[in-house]
Amino acid sequence: MSEHVDSVKTYTAVWLILLILTGVTTGVAYIDLGAFSVVIALLIAAVKMLLVALFFMHMRHSTKLTQLAAAGAFLWLFIMMAFTLADVWTRGLVGTPGR
């Protein structure tokens, strides 16, 4: 907002980094890193997300409340994923199909 006008230089830098990261993540995808492929891809995506959120969406300057809301969204997403996966990954572990 009017109190915080970031410079075009900052925006340009962020934009270039984003483009570079897109290139990197595409390139890395062709290298076999086993299970780490997923990790790297998601890590790069997370960094890109943070860049967009912090700079383009002015998260750096926004109130604690806004930051809390955003963090809350991801916490809830995590809850949903974690508990559902907790079921899927432990199915049949007691040695009885369907339990």
Binding residues vs other proteins (CB under 8 A): 1-2, 5-6, 8, 11-12, 15, 18-19, 22-23, 25-26, 29-33, 37-38, 41-42, 44-45, 48-49, 52-53, 55-57, 62-63, 65-66, 69-70, 72-74, 76-77, 79-81, 83-99
Tell me how far apart the alpha carbons of residues 59 and 9 are, in angstroms, rounded to a whole number: 18
Cα separation values, 14 from 20, 21, 24, Å: 10, 10, 15
Rounded to a whole number of angstroms, the minimum distance from the CB of residue 47 to other proteins is 9
Tell me how far apart the alpha carbons of residues 61 and 59 are, in angstroms, rounded to a whole number: 5
Tell me how far apart the alpha carbons of residues 25 and 45 are, in angstroms, rounded to a whole number: 8
Rounded to a whole number of angstroms, the minimum distance from the CB of residue 71 to other proteins is 10
Rounded to a whole number of angstroms, the minimum distance from the CB of residue 51 to other proteins is 9
